[in-house]
Amino acid sequence: MKERTVLVALGGNALLKRGESPDPAVQRENVRRAAEALAPLAKEYKLVLTHGNGPQVGLLALQAAAYTKSKPYPLDILGAETEGMIGYLIEQELRNILPPDVPVATMLTMTAVDPSDTAFENPEKFVGPVYTKEQAGEVGNATGWTFRQDGFDWRRVVPSPEPVKILEMKPIRWLIEKGAIVICTGGGGIPVVPSPGGGYSGIEAVIDKDLASAILAEELRADLFIMATDVEGVYLNWKEEDRELIGETTPRFLGENRHHFPPGSMGPKVDAACRFVEATGNPAAIGSLEEIAEIAAGSAGTIVRRESETR
């Protein structure tokens, strides 16, 4: 009987690496490699998966903008589309690897945000493909989108409000109790806000996947929360020659060195790890997807623990 629950948040690189063509075949091949890395964990743990969707949302927005006779689809609908698309790819590739009696389920997930969140006044979440500065200017003039520099490239930025509540917690728990591998909260979830008359309505935003995954992991009381990305872990002085990989650490140490982790890259992952550890007392980890089994065993990546449990 599997007792321990592990939540793995797959970075956008699991589907589409920087500079790759967004062709379905490219994304499927990347997902296939991710599924191969994740399959061993499914044999040992109750496995819950989340994923990014920044490149896919940006791509769908560009496609929608090409239909000049209709209004572009809002980001909440594009988020729902990518949850279904990416969930399908992950679910199918896992099914192709795992024994046929292992249930895998994808759930469209809504995440409530605060409509007065200051993020709506300061868009900073990168979505979509990379551009040169000149290309970004042309697309921005044509669409009204906001662009910012991302490394050596330029990308569209959209509001990224803090996640407040995941609305589908009950059915997610039901599926886990029945032994299913659950794929949910993709791209941080579909962004919604409370409606004045009750219920919820969609809003133009993209929620940070790692922060939403931390809330999900906390709600599930996960035994381990892993954020899988394309680097070995969290570094001090990341862009310098003397950069240093952080092995085992604590929320306090990461907080004291917060200036090393920029908002547009490792910052949200560090914040999500610290929040989860402080809320539950259970460990969080950040590291390479290729080393996911070693990360789960505590022998790779950056492992964040409570102060009293560090070695």
Tokens of 53: 């969707």
CA distance 11 to 186: 10
Over residues 288-292, the mean pLDDT reads 92
13 or 146, which is more confident: 146
Q: Which CATH architecture has domain 5-113+162-304?
A: 3-Layer(aba) Sandwich (3.40)
Question: Comparing C-alpha atoms, which of 210, 228, 224 is closest to residue 271?
Answer: 210
Task: Tell me the C-alpha distance between 310 and 253, whole Å.
Answer: 11
pLDDT in tens, 179-214: 999 999 999 999 999 998 889 999 989 899 999 999
Name residue 85's amino acid.
M
Average pLDDT (118-139) is 87
* CA distance linking residue 76 with residue 165, whole number of Å: 16
For the segment 123-145, the average pLDDT, to the nearest whole number, is: 85
Q: pLDDT per residue over 18-30, tens digit each?
A: 777 778 888 899 9
Residue 310 has pLDDT above 70, yes or no: no
Nearest-angstrom CA–CA distance, 221 and 208: 20
What's the average model confidence in pLDDT over 100-126? 93
Q: Which amino acid is at 293?
A: A
* Average pLDDT score, the chain: 89
Kind plus residue range of the DSSP H or E element containing 57: helix 54-65
Residues 5, 292: Cα–Cα separation, whole Å: 15
**pTM for this prediction:** 0.89
Identify residue 233 by its one-letter amino acid code.
Answer: G
Domain ranges of the chain: 5-113+162-304, 124-158
Lowest mean pLDDT, pick from 81-85, 126-130, 150-154: 126-130
Higher-confidence residue of 299 and 263: namely 299
Q: What percent of the chain has pLDDT over 90?
A: 62
Residues 6 or more apart from 35 whose CB is under 8 A from it? 90, 93, 94, 96, 97
List the structure tokens of 57.
Answer: 């949302």
Distance CA 207, CA 229 (A): 18
Mean local confidence (pLDDT), 155-169 = 93
What is the set of active-site residues?
Answer: 12-13, 125, 209, 269
For the cut 60, the answer to whether the pLDDT of residue 311 exceeds it is no
Q: What is the mean pLDDT of residues 139-149?
A: 85
Give the confidence band of 14 by pLDDT, cuts at 50, 70, 90: low
70 or 179, which is more confident = 179
Q: How do beta strands 200-202 and 125-131 pair?
A: unpaired
Helix 24-44 and helix 75-97: axis angle, to 10°? 60
Q: What is the mean pLDDT of residues 135-143?
A: 87
Mean pLDDT of 37-59: 88
Beta bridge partners of 147: 156
26-30, 46-50, 175-179, 270-274: which range is least confident on average? 26-30
Per-residue pLDDT for 109 more than 90? yes
The confidence score (pLDDT) of residue 266 equals 86
In 3D space, the residue among 215, 183, 176 whose CA is nearest the CA of residue 3 turns out to be 176
C-alpha to C-alpha distance for 149 and 94, rounded to whole angstroms: 36
Question: Taking CA 47 as the corner, what is the angle to CA 297 and CA 82, rounded to the nearest 5 degrees?
Answer: 120
- Mean pLDDT on 131-136: 91
Rounded mean pLDDT, 130-134: 89
Q: What is the pLDDT of residue 51?
A: 94
pLDDT at 11 over 90: no
Q: Can you read off the two tokens belonging to residue 183?
A: 């794929």
Between 96-100, 164-168, 195-199, 235-239, the lowest mean confidence (pLDDT) is in 235-239
Q: Are 289 and 272 in contact (CB under 8 A)?
A: no
pLDDT of residue 230: 84
Mean pLDDT of 243-263: 90
What would the mean pLDDT of 273-295 be, rounded to a whole number? Answer: 95
**pLDDT computed for residue 3 by the predictor:** 84
pLDDT at 68 over 70: no
